[in-house]
Amino acid sequence: MAAGSVEPNLIHDAAGERLDLRMTETDTPKSARKPRWTPLEMGLFTVVSLFLFIIVILMVLFATQSNKTCTTADCTHSASRLIQNMDASVDPCDNFYQYACGGWLKKNVIPETSSRYGVYDILNSNLEVILKGVLEKKVDREAAALTKAKTLYNSCINEKLIEQKGGRPLFDMLPDIFDWPIAVDNWETVYGKTWRLEDVLARLNWKYETDVLVTFIIDNDDRDSTSHIIYVDQQASFGLLSTDYYTCKGDFAKACEVYEQFMFDLAKLIRTDRGLKFNEAEIKAEVKRVVDLEKDIFIATDPPEFRRDPVFLYNKIELRTLNRIFSFEIDSQRFNWSYFTAKIMDNVNIKVPESEKIINYSPRYYGKLKNVLAKYTKRDLQNYVVWRFLMKTIGTLSRAYRNTRNDFLKFLTGTTSEDAVWRRCALLVNAVLTKAVGRLYVQEAFSDNSKQLMEELIKDIREVFISNLNDLSWMDEKTKKAAEEKARTIRQRIGYSEDIMNDEYLNNEYKDLNFSAEEYFKNILRSMEYRAKKYLQKLREKVKNTWFVGAAVIDAFYSSNFNEIVFPAGILQPPYFSKGQPKSLNYGGIGMVIGHEITHGFDIKGRKFDKDGNLKDWWTPESTEKFLQFSRCIVDQYSNFSWDLANGLHLNGDNTLRENIADNGGIRLAYQAYKKFVERNGEEPLLPGIDLSHDQLFFLNFGQIWCESYRLEQAVNSINVDVHSPGMFRVLGSLQNFPEFAKAFTCKKSSNMVSENVCRVW
């Protein structure tokens, strides 16, 4: 029974007994009273008195305990969730992740549509249900931007019309990018003399939001956070995931076969639907060359370890220098950077002179690309660049086209079926019309009451970070002072931008974007062009301090260029956050996330940017050397973790270092901030039915936000490419480095959760 139902019975029984004794005493006639008690009577009286005294003490204890137990609906729900997700039979000092998540892992099965599944994914699924509701809701009068979002959604869920159109929408637009040689006859005759690599790459960039071979973007200048500048970078997106896959040998040989089969099946389908003949041997030969080309391009890219230092990446040169030093040839045609840039920027009426400053993020890559492309023809290049566009858009066509990639996705991720149509469509509309969908979500599901509490949490955790600087023996006073200044300057955004609640602002934001309920594929193309041009138009504009993320998002962010932390409305819900749940859970959930994002401002990348978001070295050499030394401890620690789900592969501590530093800093900051909250406000009432202190509940909620399961394929992918450690090791690694955890659970020094070599940076 809960404490609230036990207490009345105890009070009734004790009071009744005392009342009966008193009635017996006063009802006895005076003449019958004895002047003195016998020893036996005296003994009985003493025993009864002692018994009554004990009963009273117990009543007080039970009453006091009851007053210290929270029995609100929020507390009851929190306790129920925590109990269901944990496995109390596991020793928390042995494997805290299993202790926190064992119950969750037993009762949750990975859906066939997913390669991994966790608490985060459940929250996302719930958010998508909300989006479905608001996008399908009919309203008599609303902002035009909201109507556009619903029109795009309706065009997406109209499966019958999409099936009727088949591949025709794709066929109609392919000539705009010089078509796909594999899937059309006489390509050389039609396009051979007019084809130019700069033309097709430029059009894919400004009209179809697709970068192949060359990544060309407009973004904040790393060294001048008030201005925009052109960046050129290596190709960022590939069909396969890592160097291992592109070896096409051993366990990864199958990956290349399945990838080639995917391309072959799509080419065959397009030719068949176009009424063209199909020569299997010729198509397979072309497909093989395309995969070989992608493999060579991938090998030319800089691996992650070469891209961690923003100072190393920042190479500012003039456009004319880019032409002179970093050009390459295809079929004796020299790639002209000036022509390529003009082809892109002319579409937003911006002229770019030869003296324009460009930041080249990948000089090594472009140096290697010369030799790579010398091995291939313009037909090979055209096949490849259109293939990259097709991989991006194949999911918007009929089922026959989507089916061509099913075996590939199954092999790569382990998924065996697609998401429900409405779910895919809700996600797509949220990505395309972020602000409009954010407005709909906020109106439906977000309470502004959360903002004040979040501001208090951020204030507490920021102050702890600043206070902790004094305890860092490895950092000198000059660097500490600059770090404090940066920490105090970090801006915060909570929930959503107020602008999205203004009809005029929202309508103006999407005034150049229009959709038709009968033209889903064309709607996608329109949205690509709209978004691409919006970014390109920024080149001559000053940087505006605006939200860079939507409201209907379950995530949190730190921006080095803005020195800003962002917590969208979507993440401000249990288990991360709730106004009604105990503060221990809030600090262990969203508090840890706040600390994580603040720490990102001081990780291996964030520390290179100053308080104004400019790439600037504000560290002394001595503090830098110590920082790198303590960071290496974390690299080694996480690299020693092996993961059974990934066939025993070891984590890559170098690739995950930024996130691991942020996790370790986040848990420390949040816990210390919670302890200061308790000092100010006193201990919180306990949760019902769960025999844990609030210190322990803090760590339990932290552990449970990372409960998740992986398919084998995705576990391997995660180790190869993810910058985050798997959830299990985010929990184990950070808690092994935090002695306060062992203290909270009274762990012995020999316990697995107690590390002999504690790593700490912040």
Three-state secondary-structure class, residue 240: coil
Q: Phi/psi of residue 699, each to 5°?
A: -70, -35
Give counts: helices (H), strands (E), the chain: 34, 13
Each residue's pLDDT tens digit, 309-340: 999 999 999 999 999 999 998 988 899 999 99
The verdict on whether 302 is a catalytic residue reads no
The arithmetic mean of pLDDT across residues 258-265, rounded, is: 96
Would you say 253 and 568 are in contact if contact means Cβ atoms under 8 Å apart?
Answer: no
Q: Phi/psi of residue 302, each to 5°?
A: -75, 130
The predicted pLDDT at position 332 comes to 86
Q: Is the pLDDT of residue 632 over 80?
A: yes
Give the Cα separation of 220 and 222 in Å (integer).
6
Helix axis angle, 119-136 relative to 434-445, nearest 10°?
Answer: 100
The verdict on whether 597 is a catalytic residue reads yes
Each residue's pLDDT tens digit, 32-48: 333 444 555 555 555 55
CA diameter of the chain: 132
Query: Which burial class, exposed, middle or buried, applies to 355 when counting CB atoms under 10 A from its CB (0-12, 13-18, 19+)?
Result: exposed
The arithmetic mean of pLDDT across residues 673-686, rounded, is: 97
The arithmetic mean of pLDDT across residues 481-490, rounded, is: 98
Would you say 303 and 297 are in contact if contact means Cβ atoms under 8 Å apart?
Answer: no
The predicted pLDDT at position 28 comes to 35
The predicted pLDDT at position 250 comes to 86
Would you say 7 and 63 are in contact if contact means Cβ atoms under 8 Å apart?
Answer: yes
Query: Per the residue annotation, which of 260, 564, 597, 659 is the catalytic one?
Result: 597
Please, which residues have CB within 8 angstroms of residue 368's CB and are 6 or more apart in sequence?
A: 300
The predicted pLDDT at position 425 comes to 97
The predicted pLDDT at position 17 comes to 31
Closest C-alpha among 672, 375, 475, 439 to residue 568:
439
The arithmetic mean of pLDDT across residues 132-137, rounded, is: 98
Mark 46-58 as b/e (b = at least 16 C-beta within 10 Å). eeeeeeeeebeee
Percentage of residues of the chain with pLDDT beyond 70: 91
How are beta strands 316-318 and 116-118 bridged, if at all? Answer: unpaired
Between 6-15, 557-566, 611-620, the lowest mean confidence (pLDDT) is in 6-15
The predicted pLDDT at position 193 comes to 83
User: What are the DSSP calls for 265-280, one per residue?
Assistant: HHHHHHHHHTT----H
Between 52-66, 272-286, 392-406, 451-465, the lowest mean confidence (pLDDT) is in 52-66
Cis check for the bond before 575: say yes or no (omega within 30 of 0).
yes
Each residue's pLDDT tens digit, 440-465: 999 999 988 889 999 999 999 999 99
The predicted pLDDT at position 554 comes to 97
Please, what is the end-to-end C-alpha distance for the chain in angstroms? 45
Closest C-alpha among 706, 702, 701, 698 to residue 743:
698
The predicted pLDDT at position 43 comes to 58
Each residue's pLDDT tens digit, 527-541: 999 999 999 999 999
Three-state secondary-structure class, residue 86: coil
Q: Is the pLDDT of residue 749 over 50?
A: yes
SS3 track for 209-224:
CCCCCEEEEEEEECCE
Give the Cα separation of 41 and 44 in Å (integer).
5
Token look-up 């004790």 returns: 14
The predicted pLDDT at position 24 comes to 33
The arithmetic mean of pLDDT across residues 350-360, rounded, is: 97
Between 14-18, 353-357, 741-745, the lowest mean confidence (pLDDT) is in 14-18
The predicted pLDDT at position 26 comes to 36
List the 557-559 sheet strands across, edge first. 491-495, 564-568, 557-559
Each residue's pLDDT tens digit, 378-389: 999 999 999 999
Average pLDDT for the chain = 91
The predicted pLDDT at position 7 comes to 33
Q: Is the pLDDT of residue 709 over 70?
A: yes
The predicted pLDDT at position 646 comes to 95
Q: Phi/psi of residue 565, each to 5°?
A: -110, 140
Q: How many other CB atoms sit within 10 Å of the CB of residue 147?
A: 15
Q: Is the pLDDT of residue 104 over 60?
A: yes
Give the Cα separation of 572 and 553 in Å (integer).
10
How are beta strands 333-334 and 214-221 bridged, if at all? Answer: unpaired
Alpha-helix residue ranges (DSSP H) falling in 301-448: 310-313, 319-325, 337-345, 363-373, 378-393, 399-403, 406-413, 421-432, 434-445
The arithmetic mean of pLDDT across residues 53-65, rounded, is: 44
pLDDT band for 184, please (50, 70, 90 cuts). very high
Q: Phi/psi of residue 682, each to 5°?
A: 85, 170
The predicted pLDDT at position 257 comes to 94
Query: Which burial class, exposed, middle or buried, applies to 660 when counting CB atoms under 10 A from its CB (0-12, 13-18, 19+)?
Result: buried
Distances (CA, A) of 122 to 118, 706, 718, 726: 6, 12, 19, 17
Here the tokens at position 727 are 């959830």
Query: Per the residue annotation, which of 663, 684, 695, 708 is the catalytic one?
Result: 663
Query: Which burial class, exposed, middle or buried, applies to 661 when counting CB atoms under 10 A from its CB (0-12, 13-18, 19+)?
Result: buried
pLDDT band for 192, please (50, 70, 90 cuts). confident
User: What are the DSSP calls for 692-707, one per residue?
Assistant: --HHHHHHHHHHHTT-
